[in-house]
Amino acid sequence: MLETSTLYGLLGIILAALGLQAAILQRDAIRRILAINVLGVGVFLVFIATAYQGADTPPDAVPHALVLTGIVVAVAATALALGLQRRLEILDEDTDDE
Amino acid sequence: MTFDALLVLDMLLATLMLMLAIAALHCESLRQGIFLYIVFGLVTALAWARLKAPDVALAEAAIGSGVAGALLLAGLRDRKPRKQKSLLRRPAWQVLTVTYLVIGLALTASWAFLDAQANDVGPRLGAMVQAELANSGVSNPVTAVLLNFRAYDTLLELAVLLAALLGVLALGPERAAPRAAGPVVHHLVAWLTPLLIVTAGYLLWVGAHAPGGAFQAGALLAAAGIVVRLSGNPHNGLPSGIWVRMLAVAGCGVFMFVGLASMGGGANLLQYPANWAGTLILLIEVFATLAITTSLVLVYLGGQPDSWSSGRRKARA
Amino acid sequence: MIDLLSGVLIIGGLFFYVAGTIGLLRLPDTLCRLHAVTKADNLGLGLLAFGLLLQLTDPLSMLKVLLIWILVLAASAAGGQLIARHVQREQEDSS
Amino acid sequence: MTELLLIASAALGLNLALSLLAMLRQPSAGDRMLSAQLLGTNGVGVMLLLSLAQDQAALLDVALVLALLAAVVVIAFTRRPQEASHD
C-alpha cells in the first residue's frame, strides 16, 4: 500500500529532477528561471511530505515554517533574476543599434 | 471507501502536477509556459491543503501562483516581440548526459528518502514545538517556529528579501507603466484592492492562532499594489521618497531592534520575555508585512521608481 | 435531512462544473465557450457553496463561503468582459 | 458525508484535468484566459470541499485567497504593455 507521504515525497523528487534538467538544458533565461521555480516546488514537496503524519495526527510544524521561508526566498530570487534578464535585454538592444 | 476517494484525489493531484510541470517547462510558447506554471501553482496549493499545510497553501496561493506569475509575465513583456526566441535545442549528447546524471541523482535521493522513511526513529522537532507552544506567545505552531523558536531564519529571510530588492534597484529605472485601463478593469480593481487589503489585515491578525501571518499578508498587499499598477495608475499605492525606503528596511530594523532589546534585558538575542512574546511577535509581524509588501511591489516595478530619479533627470537636462 | 439536501446541492454543483468543461471542449468558437463557461461554472460553484453552507455552523465560516461565491461571480463577470474584449482586439489585429 | 465530499473533490479534480486538456487543445489567448478562469473556480471548489472533508476551517481562507488571486491573474493576463497601445 502506498503511503501518502511516500507518494508526495517521490513526486517532489521527480519534480525537482525535471526542474534541474530543464534549468541546465534550456538556453532561454526566463525558461531557466521557470525551471528553478519548479525545482524549488519539488524540494518543498519533499519537506511537506515528511511533515505529514497521517490524517489524524497534526503535522510537524518545523518543515512547514522552513518551506514558508523558502517560498519567500524563491520569489525574491526570481524577481532578482528577472531584473537581471531585463538588464541583459536592454544591453542587447543597445549593441544591436550600433 | 473514504480511503479510496482520497487515494484517487492524491493520484490525480500527482499526475496533474507532473504533467503541468513537464508542459510548463517544455512547451513551444513561453507565454503558455508561464500560464501553465500559474496553474501548476494552483494545483500545488491544493496539494499543500491535502497534506494539511494550510499556512503553506496560503503562501503558495498568494505568492507561488499570484505574485510570481505577475512577475514572470512582466519579465516576458521586457522582451521585444521580434526577439522571442523559439526553443533552442542542444546537441543530443549533452541532453543525454545531463538527463542520465539527473536521473541518477533522483534515484539516489529517492533511495535516501525511502530509507529515511523506513527507519523513522527518534523524536521529531514538531513534538518539541508542541511541548513549548504555550511559552511562545502564539498558538499557531508555524508562527511560533517562524517568529520565536527559529526567529533567526525569519530575520535572515527578511535580509535576503532586502538584498534582492537592493539588487533590483541597482539595475536602473523601473519598467514602463501599463497604459491607463478601461472602465471594466478600473471597477474590478476598485473593489478588488480593498478586499485584498482587508483580507491581508485579517490574515495578519489570525496568524497568531490560525494559519496566516506576515508572509501571506504581505503577499496579498503586494498583489493589491500590483493590480493598481496594472490598471495604469502610476502611483502603485506606495508612499513616496524617504518613506518607501523606511518601509523597506522596517522589517529587518524592528526585528533587530527587538532582538537587541531582549539582549539588554539579560536574555539571548531574539529571546523574548515570555509575558511579552505575543505583543512583540505582533509588532514584528506588522513591520515585516509592510517590508515584504514594499519589497515585492518595488521588485515588480523592476527598478527605481521614476519619482526617485526625476529630480536627478531634471538636473541633467 | 440536511445531509441529503446538501448532498443533492453538491452533486448539482458538480453537474454544472462538468457542463462548463464540456462546453469548453465542444462549443465552436471562443465567445460561445465564454458564455458556457461563465454561466455554468458560477452556477456550479454557487450550488456547491450552498451545499457546504448547510454543513457549516460557524457564522464567520458561512460569511467566508458567501464572500468567496460573490467574489468569483463578480470576477467572472468582469473577467468575461475583459476576455471578450481581448479576443475582439486579437481578431482586429490579425485581420 | 465525508465520503461524498471526498468523492466530489476527486470528481472536481478530474474536471480540472479535463478543462486543462481543453485549454491545451485550443491555445488561443482568449481560450487560455477562459480556462484560467474555469481552473480557478475549479480550484476554489476543490479547496472548499477539502476544507469540510478534512475539517480544516483554515482552508476556507485559502479558497478566499485563491479566488482573489484568480482575479489578479486575469487582470495581469489581459493587460498589454504601453508600447502596444493603438486605440
Q: Residue D8 contacts by C-beta under 8 Å, 6 or more apart in sequence?
A: C10, C11, C14, D49
Give the pLDDT score at B126: 81
B22 pLDDT higher than 80: yes
Instruction: Decide which of A16 and A91 is more confident.
Output: A16
Write phi, then psi, for B287 (nearest 5 degrees): -75, -35
CB-count exposure of residue B111 (10 Å: 0-12, 13-18, 19+): exposed
**Percentage of chain C modeled with pLDDT above 90:** 14
| Residue at B275 is within a domain | yes
Q: Which of D13, C18, A40 is CA-nearest to residue B37?
A: A40
Number of domains chain B contains? 1
| Residue at D87 is within a domain | no
| Residue at D44 is within a domain | yes
Chain D contact set for C38 (CB, 8 A): 37
Q: Which range marks the domain in which residue B166 is found?
A: 138-311
Q: Record the cell numbers describing residue B155, joined without a space.
A: 530575520
Touching status, chains C and A (3+ beta-carbon pairs under 8 Å)? no
Per residue in C68-92, pLDDT (tens digit) is: 998 888 888 887 887 787 777 777 7
List the chains bordering chain D where 3 or more Cβ pairs fall under 8 Å.
Answer: B, C
Provide mean pLDDT across the span C16-41. 80
Nearest to D63 among C14, C38, C68 (CB): C68
| Residue at D85 is within a domain | no
CB burial of B129-145 (b: ≥16 within 10 Å; e: otherwise) equals: beeebeebbbebbbbbb
Report CB contact under 8 Å: C24, D33.
no
Q: Record the cell numbers describing residue D16, joined without a space.
A: 480540472
Distance CA B277, CA A43 (A): 32
| Residue at D55 is within a domain | yes
Per residue in B33-74, pLDDT (tens digit) is: 898 899 999 999 999 999 999 999 999 998 877 899 899 988
In angstroms, what CA-CA distances link A14 with A18, B114, B214, B294? 6, 14, 31, 35
| Residue at B123 is within a domain | no
ipTM of the complex: 0.92
For testing the chain D interface, which of C76, C88, C91 should be mutated: the one with the most D CBs within 10 Å? C76
Number of domains chain D contains? 1
- Which CATH fold would you assign to the domain A4-97? Helix Hairpins (1.10.287)
Give the pLDDT score at B309: 65
List the chains bordering chain B where 3 or more Cβ pairs fall under 8 Å.
Answer: A, C, D
Chain D contact set for C67 (CB, 8 A): 64
Distance CA B221, CA B288 (A): 12
